[in-house]
Amino acid sequence: MNQIPAWTHAEGAERARAAYRAAFGDEPAGVWAAPGRVNLIGEHTDYNGGLCLPIALAHHTYVALSPVGTPDVTLTSQQESDVWTQPVAEIGPGRVEGWPGYVVGVSWALAQEGHAIGGYRAAVDSCVPYGAGLSSSAALESAVAVAVDEAFGLGLGGDDEGRRTLVAACIRAENEVAGASTGGMDQSAALLARDGTALLLDMRDGSLTHIPFDLAADGLALLVIDTRAPHQLVDGQYGQRRATCEAAAARLGVPTLREVTDLPGALAQLDDVTLPDGSTVAADVVRRRVRHVVTEIGRVEEFVGLLTAGRVREVGAAMDASHASLRDDYEVSCAELDVAVEAARAAGAYGARMTGGGFGGSAIALVDADQVGAVSEAVRAAFAEHGWSGPGFLAATGDGAASRVDEKE
C-alpha cells in the first residue's frame, strides 16, 4: 500500500525552519501550520448556503514567517522551484499569478479590512498532497492567516469569532486573488476544527457544530484514496457549476438553493439559464445541478443523524448516493474516482464516495479498521488493470485547527 505519511509537528516545523534558513540566511519569527481536510459528505453545497461535514487531516502545511522592515513580501516553497518577491502595494486581484496568490492574498484581504500588515518573508513546506482534493490551498492560506495574525499582532486567532475573520480573509484570497471560486468549507475546516470531531457547517447562517467522530472506537477507519488524477479548480468547470446554481436560485427567487423545500416544484420552474460569461446552460443540466445540491443537503442531515445515534456503519448508503449524484447530476467525477469507489465497495467498504471539488482528486471509503490493507490492495489492483499509476492512501481521523507549532522564544 502506497501510504502517504503525515509529519509530526516537530518534523514539519523543522522542515519549514530549514527552508527559511536556506532561503534567507536567518531564523524565522515562528512556524505555523494548518491541516488539509476531507469532507465526509456535503459536496458543492457550501456556496449554495447548504450543509457540509468536513474533518481536518493530520497532514499539514507549515509556514515559517518573519516580518521584515521593507515593503516587500518574499516567498519560497519546497513544493515550487523559485523565490517570489513583490511589493506589498502591488498585491491584489489580477496582480499575482500562481501559488503565491494563496499566500499574499490572505495578507491583502486582511489589509483591506484595516489590519496593518507590512512586508514579510515566508518559507513553506507541506505534506498535504497537492492536487488530491484535500485542500492543500486552504491549508496554505490558513497557515499564513494564523502566522500573519500573530506576527503582526492582529489578535484574531485566539477565539472562534476572530478566526471567522481569518476564514473570510482566506476565502477572499482564494476567490479574488488566486481566482478559484470556492465556497468557504475548506478554510472553515482548517481554522475551526477540533480533535476527534467532524465540523457540521451551516453555510447559510455561519453556525457550526462539533459532531463527535471517533471511528476507532467502533473498529472503523476512513480510508482516503488519492487517485493521482489531477485536480484543478481554476480551469472554469468549478466556476461554471457555481454560476449555474446562482442563476437557478435567481430564477427561483431565492437567495440560495438552500431555500428550496419543494424540489419537484422547483425543478418544474427551471429552464435554460444564461451565465455572466454569456454562455447558456440547458434546462435539463440546470435541473440536475439543482437536484444534486438539494438532495446532498438532505444527505448531510441523514449522515449527521446516524453519527449522533451511534449508527456509524449505516452512513454508507448516504455516501454511495452522494457519489452517484456527484457523478450523474453534478458531473464532477472522473474514471479514476469511479473505479476507486467501485473497487472499495466490492472489497467490503460500507460506503464510498468522491470527496472535494472533483474533476480528479480523492475518494473516501468507510471500512473496518482491520480491512484497510485489503481494501487498499483491491483499489490498487483495479488501477493496475486500467493501466493507471498506483493511488496513494491515508487514514483520516479528525485533527485540530491551524496553530503555531514551534515554541515561542
Task: Establish whether 329 is a catalytic residue.
Answer: no
- Which grid coordinates belong to 47? 456556496
Q: How far apart are CA 117 and CA 242, in angstroms?
A: 32
Please write down the HEC assignment for all residues of the chain.
Answer: CCECCCCCHHHHHHHHHHHHHHHHCCCCCEEEEEEEEEECCCCCCHHHCCEECEEEEEEEEEEEEEECCCCEEEEEECCCCCEEEEEHHHCCCCCCCCCHHHHHHHHHHHHHCCCCCCCEEEEEEECCCCCCCCCHHHHHHHHHHHHHHHHCCCCCCCCHHHHHHHHHHHHHHHHHHCCCCCCCHHHHHHHHCCCCEEEEEECCCCCEEEEECCHHHHCEEEEEEEEEECCCCCCCHHHHHHHHHHHHHHHHCCCCHHHCCCHHHHHHHCCCEECCCCCEECHHHHHHHHHHHHHHHHHHHHHHHHHHCCCHHHHHHHHHHHHHHHHHCCCCCCHHHHHHHHHHHHCCCCEEEEECCCCCEEEEEEEEHHHHHHHHHHHHHHHHHCCCCCCEEEEECCECCCEECCCCC
Catalytic residue from among 149, 186, 399, 406: 186
Q: How far is CA 209 from CA 63, 156, 197, in A?
A: 28, 20, 9
Q: Which residues are identified as catalytic? A: 186
